[in-house]
Amino acid sequence: MGLTKQYLAYKPVSSFNIIASARANISFVSINDVVGRYVVVAAAEKVLVWDMRIGEKVAEFVRDKQEVTYLRTSPDQKHLAVGYADGLVELFSVPSKQSVCSFASHRSAISALNFDLLGLKLVSGGLDNDLVVSDIVAQTGKCRLTGHSAPVTQACFMQRYQDVVVSSSKDTQVKFWNIETQCCFKTIVDHRTEVWGIALMRNDDFLVCATADTQLSVYRVAPITDGSVVPVAATAEHPEDESTVSPFRCTVAGSIQRAGHGRTVNLVTDANGQVLGCHGTDRKIELFYFCTQDESIKKLTKRMKKLNPNKKPAAEETNVNQLSLTDEIKRLAPVPTPEKVKSFDLLLGSRNELRICCTFLKNFVQLFTLDVEAKGAEPASLYAVQKQGHPSEARSVSFSSDNLAIASGSAESLKLWSRATQTVLRTVDTGGYVVSTCFVPGDRHVLVGLKNGQLLLVDVVPGEVIERIDAHEKELWSIVLTPDMHGCVTGGGDTTVKFWSFELIPNPNGGGGKVLSLLHKNTLKLEETVLCVKISPNGKYIAIALLDTTVKIFFLDSHKFYLSLYGHKLPVVSMDISYDSTLIITGSADRTIKIWGMDFGDCHRSLLAHDNTITAVQFIPSTHMFFSCAKDGKLKQWDADSFQKIITLPGHLGEAHALAVSPNGKYVVSCGSDRTLRLFHRTDEPLVLQDVQEEEREELENATLATGEESTVPGLPGLRLPSKKTIGSEKGAESILECLEVSKQYEEEGCTGPLPPLMFAYSVTNTDDFLLIVLSRVRSSDLEESLLLLPFNAVCELLERIPKLTTTRKDQTELICKVVLFLFRVHQKPIVSNQVLLPVIQKIVQTLQGAVGELRDMVGTNFHAAQMLQRELEENDGCVLFRDATKQRIQRDRRRRRREASKRTFVQIVK
């Protein structure tokens, strides 16, 4: 098909202005082995790494348009797990900034993420009330834990007890799960309100729970041994603690009274579980230090000595059972913050320096430091990143005439941005809520309209407000330049339209030279609130949108009435006039865009353009094409001649407030409620409308699963896979079915004819390699769901091919085992009842056992051979191989021996 009319595609350049999203958490991350300097935050759909020392962005991780809801760095700081609003968890490599794998785990947003001690497992909690444990090495889900009746607020692994996960939820319960049995073996039901967070302290000695009140509940976790003594009160209150299923006992140790107000929002601990931080709804972060056992016993001895100064306590009289929470927990100095904290993270350094990084609702990040051991130490602010973005949502944007600068206004400031680098050039405090902006000819000044009706004249070079004019009594909704560039027109909520001219006046501050000022020339009084004003480029007409849903057009020179455009059901919020003054477009709160003729005021077409209130429309210069944005967050390009939509651009995660098209038509910038400014540029790539419409239809079809949301198997009603059905799993099932069909046809022909095109595309020559390469190309996290979608006859075909695959391709033994075990587990009853499959199953068991045995022997041989080579090289060269790993292991073993020695010292022997 030939191109009837050529359109050029607009593509996103970048999004900027946002420093840190308020919805997700913040975390420290080490880059190039530098600790405590870099923090990772969410920024709408991106993840940014900020260098706090120099206040610059050093890296970003991007997936797609879904919003980031949770972050967690791995213990070795090499991986970053990112949870999204669609329930997907993406694992990124920190050094390479690339995605390693993804887990489609939940059906709604991720609310909790945590790695285990070695960073090999990942537990995720979601708003769908489920917990999913994923295997990082195998890149697949391990199990799904279902039992909470409300969204999960926090989940973490226990360090001392393997394969145990602790989770908290808004259903007021704290649950302990065993991963191997996939069941909950202990539940704490002491709380009467939502549990907003949990933290395991001091190597799992304590469990701290945060609820909706101002107290933190503390539980003591102790292993169950034959000789352990259980307090009578604890036994009476918690008879379930005597359960033989649980490897430990969890008893109430007391509570910590917070000094802050409101519910506990976040509960955060450092990596070693020594320092606990929490904050409520006020401007304060409270810190608690959990002392070691030696420090606790010293405090207990001092306390007992103060109580009875005449008696000298013997060393054996002071034991662990006498310790109270006041001996084991020390309150540190609270961190006062300038605003309400949204999230924070802690890092305890080797010199007992505690670093606290915080994100705030007003779009900035701050880093504090505190010396834990020094007496009377107060926290100090180290660095802050806040000038790189507006503290609140940007409401207005405009381009300079040379297309190089962008002005954006928010509730308290005006910022000027470089279009090329997306960095802040100037920040001007406006002292009011900005609702409209406009560059003055020459681009040295900016006109700013405020919500209180003031008109500001801002000088760009020094970044100062040089004049404040009380232009209107209410909101100054619109500023537009006159075609001769000698003045401007403003429209306000006080039902007036005022005309101004630019004048050069002597500098009121003294000194030589003149400064720009505005001179009021005329006022047009109307019956309703003015929402928008536009002047036709030929200078003949002025169009005024009023609150009564009409647009009145007047002659610009005489101010006489010319036309009235009526037809919208709700007020017109934005409008624009084409370059040749023949068309006017109006965007209304009724979700429609109407295209009118300027000569007779007739409506050419009414377009149902968006799903919510349209907030801005603007023509592309020298064309009849225009852009529109609305509160549904979308940006769309339209053709006013053919009345067709050209393309929908990736818009904002929330509402879109305003947009601006550059004077040369090459760039479009928009602002929205997700705090981002999004820049698009026109490429040289041509668009064909039919192709664009087809792509949008395919995208819409792909968004809905063809086989439904549920994973159901006959005879297995309680199937709970640790994954969910995705487009990838459906495509994987289709490719496996297609592979089996092509292989069957090729084998029926005797494998002598020409290769099928699909096998040729995969560069394989036989059906065995064809099946294996198709299976290996299905993403690990989607493999189980893909196999689950296969019909039983395809499962039988697949199983019949397994024995030959096992003997010919022993390098793929792991993949074959994974496929066979899952199919056996899911289709156990029909496979067992099928007599034809009996010899096939016997052959599968025999060949797979041999292949797995060979693989295990090979791994063991290689492992011991590598150890022998290492010893020989170390003896010959006198140096230690893998020095860093060996050093870390020695330090870890030393810490473990020290902990065990301290425990042995205070063991109480009971006969």
* pLDDT tens sequence across 348-391: 987 889 999 999 999 999 999 999 888 888 999 999 998 899 99
Shared domain for 626 and 677, answered yes or no, is yes
**Amino acid code (one letter) for 417:** W
Range from 132-136, 309-313, 321-325, 578-582 carrying the lowest mean pLDDT: 309-313
Would 608 be classed as within a structural domain?
yes
Phi/psi for 594 (5° steps) reads: -110, 135
With respect to residue 584, please indicate whether it lies within any of the assigned structural domains.
Answer: yes
Residue 889 burial class via C-beta count within 10 angstroms: exposed 0-12, middle 13-18, buried 19 and up: exposed
> Do both 589 and 463 map to the same domain?
no
**Secondary structure of residue 390 in the 3-state scheme:** coil
The Cα diameter of the chain in Å comes to 108
119 is written with which tokens?
Answer: 């960073």
Average of per-residue pLDDT across 410-433 = 93
Of 350-354, 733-737, 743-747, 881-885, which range is least confident? 881-885
Q: Map tokens 């601006």 to a residue.
A: 660
Residue 750 belongs to what domain range? 727-836
Backbone φ, ψ for residue 341 (5° rounding): -80, 135
Concatenating the DSSP letter of every residue in 215-258 gives EEEEEEEEE--TTPPPPHHHHHH-GGGG-SS-SEEEEEEEEEE-
* Whole-angstrom distance, CA of residue 647 vs CA of residue 695: 10
Closest by alpha carbon to 389, among 368, 360, 351, 369? 360
Q: pLDDT band at residue 724, thresholds of 50, 70 and 90?
A: confident
Q: Is the pLDDT of residue 313 over 90?
A: no
pLDDT in tens, 195-246: 999 999 988 899 999 998 889 999 999 888 754 444 433 333 444 444 557 8
| 125 occurs within a structural domain | no
Neighbours of 35 (CB within 10 A): 14
Alpha carbon distance 730, 724 (integer Å): 11
Q: Are residues 754 and 826 in the same domain?
A: yes
Residue 512 predicted with pLDDT over 70: no
Dist. CA 624–CA 529, nearest whole Å: 29
Backbone angles phi, psi at 590, to 5 degrees: -85, 15
What is the model's pLDDT at position 891?
Answer: 81
592-597: strand order across its sheet: 572-577, 583-588, 592-597, 603-608
- Looking at 464, 493, 525, which one is the last position of a domain? 525
Tally of domains in the chain: 3
Q: How far apart are CA 17 and CA 6, in angstroms?
A: 33
Contact yes or no for 626/619 (Cβ under 8 A): yes
Angle at 143 between CA 142 and CA 145, to 5 degrees: 150
Whether the pLDDT of residue 908 is over 80: the answer is: no
pLDDT confidence of 2, banded at 50, 70, 90?
very low
Q: How far apart are CA 578 and CA 538, in angstroms?
A: 10
pLDDT at 113: 95
Whether 157 contacts 115, CB under 8 Å: yes
Would 110 be classed as within a structural domain? no
The 3-state DSSP class for residue 82 equals strand
Enter the tokens of residue 510. 């003294």
Q: How far apart are CA 790 and CA 47, in angstroms?
A: 37
- Mark whether 426 and 499 lie in a shared domain: yes
Give the pLDDT score at 295: 81
Establish if 67 belongs to a structural domain: no
Query: What one-character DSSP code corresponds to residue 713?
Result: B
Same domain? 693 vs 636: yes
> Do residues 831 and 743 both lie within one domain?
yes
Task: Check pLDDT > 60 for residue 432.
Answer: yes
Residue corresponding to tokens 């889900």 = 141
The pLDDT score that the predictor gives to residue 228 is 47
CA distance 699 to 65: 13
Which of 83-97, 273-287, 296-310 has the least mean pLDDT? 296-310
Residues 551/587, Cβ–Cβ less than 8 Å: no
Asked if the model's pLDDT at residue 452 lies above 50, the reply is: yes
User: Are 654 and 776 contained in the same domain?
Assistant: no
CA distances (Å), origin 206, targets 237, 248, 288, 326, 348? 18, 12, 13, 14, 19
Q: How confident is the model at residue 887 (pLDDT cuts 50, 70, 90)?
A: confident
User: Would you say residue 31 lies in a domain?
Assistant: no
The pLDDT tens digits of the residues spanning 641-671 come to 999 999 999 889 989 999 999 999 999 999 9
DSSP for 716-733, written as a single string: BTT---SS---HHHHHHH
Question: Contact, 472 vs 492, CB < 8 A?
Answer: yes
Higher confidence at residue 462 or residue 708? 462
| Dist CA 855 CA 817 (whole Å) | 12
Distance between CA atoms of residues 524 and 497, nearest Å: 5
CB of 701 within 8 A of CB of 694?
no
Residue 835 is given by DSSP the state G
Looking at the fold, whether 680 and 741 belong to one and the same domain comes out as no
Torsion angles phi and psi, residue 219, rounded to 5: -120, 140
**What's the rounded mean pLDDT across residues 412-426?**
93
Among residues 796, 820, 836, which one ends one of the domains? 836
Indicate if the pLDDT at residue 828 is higher than 60.
yes
User: What single-letter DSSP state applies at residue 194?
Assistant: -
Q: Which long-range contacts (CB under 8 A, 24 or more apart) does 823-828 make?
A: 823/787, 823/795, 823/798, 823/799, 826/713, 826/716, 826/719, 826/787, 826/788, 827/713, 827/792, 827/795
Mean pLDDT across the chain, nearest whole number?
87
Q: Percentage of the chain with pLDDT > 90? A: 57
- Rounded CA-CA distance 243/262 in Å is 36
Q: Indicate if 795 and 745 belong to the same structural domain.
A: yes
Query: Contact, 403 vs 663, CB < 8 A?
Result: yes
Above pLDDT 70, what percent of the chain?
91
Highest mean pLDDT pick, 111-125, 293-307, 317-331, 372-386: 111-125
Are residues 694 and 791 located together in one domain of the fold? no
Closest to 100 measured CA to CA, from 86, 89, 87, 114: 89
Same domain, 477 and 400: yes
pLDDT for 900: 66
Indicate whether 735 pLDDT > 70: yes
**For residue 396, is pLDDT > 70?**
yes
Whether residue 776 is contained in a domain is answered as yes
The predicted pLDDT at position 314 comes to: 53
Q: What is the pLDDT of residue 660?
A: 96
Query: What is the per-residue pLDDT across 807-824, written as a single tens digit (0 to 9) for each?
Result: 888 888 888 898 998 888
Contact 426, 407 (CB under 8 A): no
pLDDT of residue 717: 56
How far is it, in rounded angstroms, from Cα 583 to Cα 600?
Answer: 10
Nearest CA to 545 out of 568, 578, 579, 520 is that of: 568
Per DSSP, 193 falls in state S
pLDDT tens digits for 533-571? 999 999 999 999 999 999 999 999 989 999 999 999 999
Q: 365-371 and 353-360 as β-strands: parallel, antiparallel, unpaired?
A: antiparallel
Instruction: Look up tokens 């009289």; give the residue.
Output: 317
Please name the residue that has the structure tokens 């010293």: 298
pLDDT of residue 235: 36
Above 50 in pLDDT, residue 905?
no
Q: Which helix (H) or strand (E) holds 571?
A: none
Within 8 A by CB and 6+ apart from 60, the residues are 43, 46, 47, 48, 49, 97
**In CATH, what number is assigned to the domain containing residue 631?**
2.130.10.10
How many angstroms separate the CA atoms of 187 and 198, rounded? 13
126 part of a folded domain: no
Residues 690 and 732 placed together within one structural domain of the fold: no
N-terminal to C-terminal alpha carbon distance within the chain: 93
Q: Does the pLDDT of residue 753 top 70, yes or no?
A: yes
Cα–Cα distance for residue pair 593/608, rounded to 1 Å: 7
